Structure 1
């Protein structure tokens, strides 16, 4: 056991060193690109954001802040339970609905239940996004979004952050990424997840032939990886580009620079960590019993 732990530590050190070297090479290469003829002029023409004809009210309303946190909370549990379902050999417990139906593992029951809550949160967010006019924050309104997004990406890679004011608007790269998350990745996760769920009609031969389960599985796992990478990069940049102000935006609803947003953020992380730890049969069984029958086989 000690040797295995030592091997893991050594492997972790090697991977960390390799990652640092790779990041250093990328930064140096990006800075080299900015010195090429014509590139500085392009960066001045496309600084990383464009003027939108739509100007939503500055700031983040309470519904956006709560939806943002719940989205993170549910995604953490979805990834956790999804990996449990994917790698489980023998489920520790099973769940059978009260109204009858196929017996499934308790991890699959939790994964599906959280999926429903995540989708409900997403639908509410999208509705309020368009009702409030805040859709203009994440929906591109000009083709200039693409060259500006490339400019912002290059600036991020040089570690010289593009000029931005998230309280008023996002830069073009942020806008494209948030648009992709809300209107592309989330629907893909939903339609592939439904195809793999127990709710899908098994006897609909024509429908199953049009949308085979292997295609859904080929979509679902890469989408989960995309969400995981997005969350890691997103949180990293939030902390690196002005942590206190950025956290105040989405957790305290203010443009001030103080520790209130950070405290809310830290509390939210603790809640998510506690929920992840609690995702085990001993704690899940009493909750699942309210919706059906829990058994060991």
Structure 2
């Protein structure tokens, strides 16, 4: 216990930490009295096994300042001067560094229970000790509200959930892709409008109308050319749709997928490749077989004259057909008998230029290419094959989009009957066959995933997850 305090006070100083017994904090109304008014009472010993404190024969301090709360559960006292009691404590125990009252907030006794843990800025001597018993109160009723306002808040703040990041599709979010598509579509419409107006302006120039009359967009085929489309052409066309769609899909996966879902190793041994690359190369082989069968039957039947130019007039007629397409005054369609010259040139490029180019560059990048032929590899580097293969795929994509658009824009039912129904009639038979072909292609697109591909790939090699 501490003797009653007088009215005078000096700067606060922490009671030595080592001398603080573990006792509950007590509060009492603040009083002002003299040392002689109340006899000195002795309490518990300051040191285990020692004498009661204060020591017998020692007088109380001449003036003891009010105590203040330095931190939760710690009391600081402002002594006026050194006393005999303090000298006695100093002789009995080693000195302890004093805690400055200016470094700790003043907290009234009534708010001690609600104050949080000792702040990090409190001295070690004040935070490492236990609570100190006191006999006098350190705050009055009038000072309590102001001190309570200065005390730190203990109300728990509601945690703020971090905002979820937008999901990326490739390098952009869904909103960014939609915005990009809308911008591209608006730009394409604006560019198409400008192009149409410019082409119509060209048709009014001197000599252009006469050029269009002389070259209407097509030239006559040899008399031996047969009209129509035989059954093998229809089946080849369907297989080409199915295979080229899956080839484009698997090729894009090979180019962009960083971690393949599975790997495939050939039975005879060789380099381990991703299952997507295995699918791409397997589809390439089937596509090449289908193309070779088509070309053989094309020349065997005489239908090669439909897509292989037989006159130099193909070039001015192709230019005339292009100008007519751009002006939206499209040339007359008579695909059952003869393609216009622009169609003939495009089909020739697809069958005899783009397809072989895709095959040659694909073989160069595949496992079928001999790796030890230094002279051949130097003459045909793989970097060249990669630089040509991907643009060739983009050409096929652009051709398919334009081709399908023109099929539907220039008489859908009749055009679909030509290739799927084998007739020049205008009915819905060819449309439903086309719809079935698209459904089969979509099913193949969906099924081209590891859970379906793995059993097929195991027939030709080993499938593993790494």
Give me the TM-score of the superposition, normalised by structure 1. Answer: 0.97
Instruction: Tell me, yes or no, if the aligned pair for 1:98 and 1:293 is still in contact at 8 Å.
Output: yes
Between Structure 1 and Structure 2, how many residues are aligned? 297
Alpha-carbon deviations, 1:178-219, whole Å to 9, x = none? 001111111101111000001101111111011100011111
State whether structure 2 residue 399 is matched by structure 1 residue 230.
yes
**Are the equivalent residues in 1 in contact too, given 2:263–2:464 (CA < 8 A)?**
yes
1:168 paired to 2:331: no
Aligned to 1:154: 323
Shift of 1:54: 4.5
Aligned to 1:220, the other structure's residue is in SS state helix
Please report how far the alpha carbon of residue 6 of structure 1 lies from its aligned counterpart in structure 2 after TM superposition.
3.0
1:93 aligns with 2:292: no
| SS across alignment from 2:221 | coil
Equivalent position SS for 1:96: strand
2:219 to 50, 55, 59: 50
SS of the residue corresponding to residue 294 of structure 1 reads strand
- SS of corresponding position for 1:95: strand
Partner of 1:24: 193
Shift of 1:5: 3.0
Q: Show structure 1 runs of 5+ residues with no match.
A: none
Cross-structure match for 2:374: 205
> Could you say which structure has the larger radius of gyration?
2
- Paired with 1:133 and 1:227, the residues of 2 have a C-alpha distance of 26
Distance, in Å, in 1 between the alignment partners of 2:295 and 2:180 is 43
User: In the aligned structure 2, how far is the partner of 1:161 from the partner of 1:266?
Assistant: 26
**What does residue range 2-151 of structure 1 map to in structure 2 within 5 Å?**
4-151=173-320
Contact 1:54 1:136 in 2 (8 A): no
1:252 corresponds in structure 2 to 421
Q: Is the 8 A contact 1:47 1:148 kept in 2?
A: yes
Determine the structure 2 residue equivalent to 1:180.
349
- Cα separation, partners in 2 of 1:8 and 1:64, compared to 1, 3 Å: same
Aligned-partner Cα distance in 2 for 1:221–1:7: 25
SS in 1 for 2:300: helix
Displacement after TM superposition at 1:267 (Å): 1.2
Gaps of 5+ in 2: 1-165
Looking at structure 2, the residues matched to 90 and 4 of structure 1 have their Cα atoms a distance apart, in angstroms, of 21
**1:221 corresponds to:** 390
- Tell me how far apart the structure 2 counterparts of residues 61 and 230 of structure 1 sit (CA, whole Å): 23
How much has 1:12 moved relative to structure 2? 2.0
- Separation in structure 2 between the aligned mates of residue 210 and residue 8 of structure 1, nearest angstrom: 41
CA separation of 1:110/1:4 partners in 2, compared to 1, >3 Å: closer, same or farther?
Answer: closer
Q: Is the 8 A contact 1:248 1:260 kept in 2?
A: yes
State the Cα distance separating 1:53 from its structure 2 match.
2.5
Deviation at 1:4, TM superposition (A): 3.7
Deviation, 1:171, is 0.6
Q: Which structure has more RCO (C-alpha within 8 Å, separation ≥ 6)? A: 1
SS of aligned partner of 2:454: helix
Q: Which moved more, 1:282-291 or 1:128-137?
A: 282-291
Q: Does residue 269 of the first structure (1) align with residue 438 of the second (2)?
A: yes
Runs of 4+ aligned residues of structure 1 deviating over 6 Å after TM superposition are none
Separation in structure 2 between the aligned mates of residue 32 and residue 228 of structure 1, nearest angstrom: 31
- CA distance, structure 2, for counterparts of residue 4 and residue 189 of structure 1: 32
Task: Give me the CA root mean square deviation.
Answer: 1.3
User: Cα–Cα, structure 1 residues 55 and 152, in superposed 2: closer, same or farther, change >3 Å?
Assistant: farther
Secondary structure of the structure 2 residue equivalent to 1:293: strand
Determine which structure has the larger helix proportion and give its number.
1
- How does the TM-score come out when normalised to structure 2? 0.62
8 Å contact 2:217–2:318 — kept in the other structure? yes
1:192 aligned to 357, 361, 365, which one?
361
Larger mean Cα displacement after TM superposition, 102-111 or 30-39: 30-39
